[in-house]
A and B are shown apart, each in its own frame.
Chain A
Amino acid sequence: MERSERPARTLFDRIWEGHLVRPETPEAPAVLFVDLHLVHEVTSPQAFTVLRERGLRVRRPDLTLATMDHSTPTDPPGPAGEVEITDPQCRNQLEALERNCREFGIELHPLGADHQGIVHVIGPELGLTQPGRTVVCGDSHTSTHGAFGAFAFGIGTSEVGHVLATQCLLQRRPRTLEVRVHGRLGPCVTAKDLVLEIISRLGVSGGTGYVLEYSGEAIRALSMEARMTLCNMSIEAGARAGLVAPDDTTFEYLHGRPRAPKGPAWDAALARWRTLRTDPGAPFDAAVEIDASALEPTITFGTHPGMSAPVTGRVPQPERERDPAARRALEAALAYMGLRPGQQLEGHPIDVVFIGSCTNGRLSDLRAAASVLRGRRVATRVRTLVVPGSREVKRAAEAEGLHRVFLEAGAEWREPGCSMCIGMNGDQVGPGKSSVSTSNRNFEGRQGPGSRTFLASPLSAAAAAVAGALADPRGFVDGRPQGGR
């Protein structure tokens, strides 16, 4: 009798092994096949130039999809539906992408098209991001797609060229780290709060060299959009990628999406997807455990996403940091942010609120923000931008009247794009001004020169817009009237 059982494998092992064109050796990395390559205007032009210089074609245009998101204006269109691109550099970049896609035969969802939007919003929305796939893009937040149990990671422009030309990448096998999250998230505590806590626990370089697999009761309870928020910020812990094993939540999300398999192909895919899991006892290289029920609405106070605290808490004291480098980093961060050691976070005044991005620009995020803003007004001196992640998100939000909630509250309802997360399109916070932002990075100047960014969930951001200051969202969704200066 044969009992040649395979050793217990992780989800990551399964995806990795299924995509090896050539295994790695000490001398050379593995050649890894890419199932889906997403392309945008900022990190691709120089890659197409290399292709042209070397006389190469795109090997698999059928596995390549392009859209415009970073350099696109989000101002409401003119009376004839016209979008004006006033920045000549942005216009040049967008035109270059159109030319490149035409020349190399790549499907493009340009400005104004039905499925245009942030690259990490439209991939899932179209049903292209599927369990077990390898997904890459010249953008670090490609980790978002790991929510479907896909191995998804950001690459540089040279590697964009590699994938265009060969559909493959040279990769060393990353290590694996299990992030097991017990219990359930409390009221007004979201995937954003959870991932900020995870980054704080691991540190901004704690995930370097690892793929994180999120598991446990709290993860199973998350919606697909919440899982995307979680995986999106895996890179902020330095991780190569984040993963959530697919389950019925994943399959329900994908069923009926435009590019998801149909009919018998769906049944076959489903059977395959159900095998994509981590076997009990499969070894991880490292593990951390987190109790979801202990978490509170969380906000960053510093200049990287690892510097966060409960919004009801206080700014930490640098003098309590034993490590001199950490102390200096904290001092520099507080000076930049205009915060005093030990000061209370709640009540700190802000100037701008940004609700959107590949982290929190999906329909459920807008619903959350609307649940706070419905029947309230944003503080008079706070500029509030609501930017849907894609045209599809915008349509769906308008169909249920969310845009009216935002407009009646005094917020701006804008066109889809990356917008103020990165500020390339002119949507910027302003020097010395503070924003509460649902995006992913609070680096110095990230939202424009001199901007001070507090990262938080859509609930917390909407609460801050009403209060005109950092605020605990729990005071806004349980029926108690508050704020509104």
Chain B
Amino acid sequence: MEPFRTLTSRAVVLPRRDIDTDQIIPARFLKVTTRDGLGRWLFAGWRYDAQGTPVADFPLNDPQAAGARILIGGANFGCGSSREHAPWALVDHGFRAVISVSIADIFRNNAIKNGLLPAVVDEETHRVLLARPFGEVSVDLEAQEVSAPGVRARFSIDPFARRCLLDGTDELGFLLGQAPAIAAYEQARREEGA
């Protein structure tokens, strides 16, 4: 995984709150056995009409969204299903950070494992960012700061997740390193007869 340090990019703004993972990637695109190429179906239900034509006023279809790597979402972003296809689709489309005032539990966990930074900011900062579609936003993970013209705010992230993103390491390696402790736990449970 590519280490994440700083990122500066135009931001796509989706102000709706409670954007669920069924919107991020609808279930009909989950019938795959790989994780590649899901970006074209990102927000498919909102991005394309029934004939598959891009919906002009959906922010992702705006020419200014081209190359944007930061998504500002409404509160409770990523609620609903545990599908990791949601961060896969966001990353495949080019996003590296999602910023909101609150991010759903499983989505946040899944994002970190794919090098997608879930950054939770305070309400005032969120309000400012939501009001500036396609504005330039910077994220500094080492300093844990989000900034935009006239705004600088700290964001919260679990220290372990921050470390993993900064180093570009994955949690599986860490867990595999716990093998002796896991074996000891299993042995103790066997002795208990549980």
Contact = CB atoms under 8 A, between A and B. Distances in A.
Interface of A: 21-22, 26-29, 31, 33, 42-43, 45-46, 49-50, 54, 56, 59, 70-71, 87, 89-90, 92-93, 96, 138-140, 154-159, 161-162, 165-170, 172, 204-205, 208-209, 238, 240, 268, 272, 304, 325-326, 328-329, 332, 422-424, 431, 441, 443-446, 448-450
A139 B22 contact: no
Interface of B: 15-18, 20, 22-23, 26-28, 30-35, 45, 50, 74-76, 79-84, 87, 102, 104-106, 109-110, 113-114, 158-160, 163, 170-172, 174-176, 178-179, 181-182, 185-186, 189, 193-194
11 contacts: A31-B175, A42-B30, A43-B84, A46-B84, A59-B182, A90-B31, A92-B31, A155-B82, A159-B113, A205-B75, A446-B22
A154 B106 contact: yes
A27 B34 contact: no
Contacts of A92: 31, 33
A166 to B, nearest CB: 4
7 tightest A-B CB contacts, nearest first:
A156-B110, A89-B31, A156-B84, A45-B33, A205-B76, A158-B113, A154-B82
Contact of A204 (B34, B76, B113): B76
B42 to A, nearest CB: 14
Contacts of B160: 27-29, 170
Most buried by A among B104, B160, B175: B175
B159 A26 contact: yes
A49 B82 contact: no
B79 A204 contact: yes
B175 A168 contact: yes
A333 to B, nearest CB: 10
Contacts of A28: 160, 174
Contacts of A50: 172
A161 B113 CA distance: 11
A89 B27 CA distance: 13
A165 B74 CA distance: 36
A157 B20 contact: no
A157 B23 CA distance: 19
A43 B31 CA distance: 10
A272 B82 CA distance: 32
Nearest to A209: B105
A482 to B, nearest CB: 35
Contacts of A21: 178, 181-182, 185
Given A27-B163, A328-B16, A443-B20, A158 B31 contact: no
Contact of A238 (B28, B79, B185): B79
Contacts of A31: 175, 178, 181-182
Given A27-B159, A161-B172, A165-B175, A424 B182 contact: no
Contacts of A423: 27-28
Given A158-B110, A165-B172, A170-B174, A205 B159 contact: no
Contacts of A446: 22, 27
A208 B105 contact: yes
Contact of A325 (B27, B74, B81, B84): B74
Contacts of B30: 42, 70, 424
B25 to A, nearest CB: 11
A162 B31 contact: no
A139 B82 contact: yes
A289 B16 CA distance: 30
A56 B172 CA distance: 11
Nearest to A445: B45
Contacts of B33: 45-46, 49, 92-93, 96
Contacts of B176: 56, 165-166
A56 B175 CA distance: 13
B3 to A, nearest CB: 17
A54 B113 CA distance: 16
Most buried by A among B82, B83, B102, B171: B82
A28 B182 CA distance: 16
Given A45-B33, A90-B31, A208-B104, A158 B178 contact: no
In this complex, the member of B75, B109, B114 whose beta carbon has the largest number of chain A beta carbons within 10 angstroms is B109
Contacts of A268: 193
B81 A140 contact: yes
A140 B104 CA distance: 12
A50 B28 CA distance: 23
Contacts of B193: 268
